[in-house]
Amino acid sequence: GENVEQHPSTLSVQEGDSAVIKCTYSDSASNYFPWYKQELGKRPQLIIDIRSNVGEKKDQRIAVTLNKTAKHFSLHITETQPEDSAVYFCAANQAGTALIFGKGTTLSVSS
Amino acid sequence: DAGVIQSPRHEVTEMGQEVTLRCKPISGHNSLFWYRQTMMRGLELLIYFNNNVPIDDSGMPEDRFSAKMPNASFSTLKIQPSEPRDSAVYFCASSPDRADVLGQYFGPGTRLTVT
């Protein structure tokens, strides 16, 4: 089955800097890669996703890139703000299967 | 839309007691997922239903855990007997058909504490 590795486990940046979180997956059949943000005490919320027919997707300050050959995908947050502080999870799956999540990255943005 | 609804939001119980967690998926969603979240193990998939049928229950820890989905609008996760190591936040999530179509939406979770 699918296995998703996520790095780093913690990330501290200064407000205004960029943050990058990286994930690798094992199953070459996976074709859907969402990212979730979980604030303290709350539920994970979908913030952006990418499908295997696309190499990059952007939504304001966040972007995701996918390298299917290397089986890795990354989340990029530019101009970070304190409200970006949260735990971020990557996930992967293929049609008809459940999402498999990485272990999460705790992002701290200090002002 | 009310989103995914879970009850109770918090449950404190003693070891050995039966615990039942409940979930109502978003109306029209055909897939339902139960996850367990702990600091040590992160978000673990326990079981996945599609059209009320269990598709993958390989993540269910042991026979003490069971899940049902009697209809499209209700699911339960039962732990009997409960143990302190079951303490975690249990999330239910639903998706329109497949999780890769429009993403997967989580409920608010049930925080379970077993003493």
Q: How far apart are CA B98 and CA A53, in angstroms?
A: 17
How many cross-chain Cβ pairs, A to B, lie less than 8 Å apart?
53
Asked if the model's pLDDT at residue B12 lies above 80, the reply is yes
Residue B85 in 3-state DSSP?
helix
Cross-chain residue pair A32–B42, CB shorter than 8 Å: no
User: What is the model's pLDDT at position B62?
Assistant: 82
**Average pLDDT score, chain A:** 94
Instruction: Provide the total of helices (H) and of strands (E) in chain A, helices listed first.
Output: 0, 11
Chain B positions touching A100 (Cβ under 8 A) are 45
Helix, strand, coil % in chain A, rounded to nearest 5: 5, 55, 40
Chain A positions touching B99 (Cβ under 8 A) are 32, 93, 97-99
Tell me the per-residue pLDDT of A15-62, one tens digit each, with 9 for 90 and over: 999 999 999 999 999 999 999 999 999 999 999 999 888 889 999 999
Cross-chain residue pair A46–B104, CB shorter than 8 Å: yes
Tell me the per-residue pLDDT of B71-94, one tens digit each, with 9 for 90 and over: 999 999 999 999 999 999 999 999
Q: How far apart are CA B3 and CA A25, in angstroms?
A: 29
Burial class (CB in 10 A: 0-12, 13-18, 19+), B2: exposed
Cross-chain residue pair B45–A32, CB shorter than 8 Å: no
Residue in B closest to A105 by C-alpha: B42
Cross-chain residue pair A94–B100, CB shorter than 8 Å: yes
Candidates A31, A43, A97; nearest CB to B107: A43
Cross-chain residue pair A93–B45, CB shorter than 8 Å: no
Asked if the model's pLDDT at residue B99 lies above 70, the reply is no
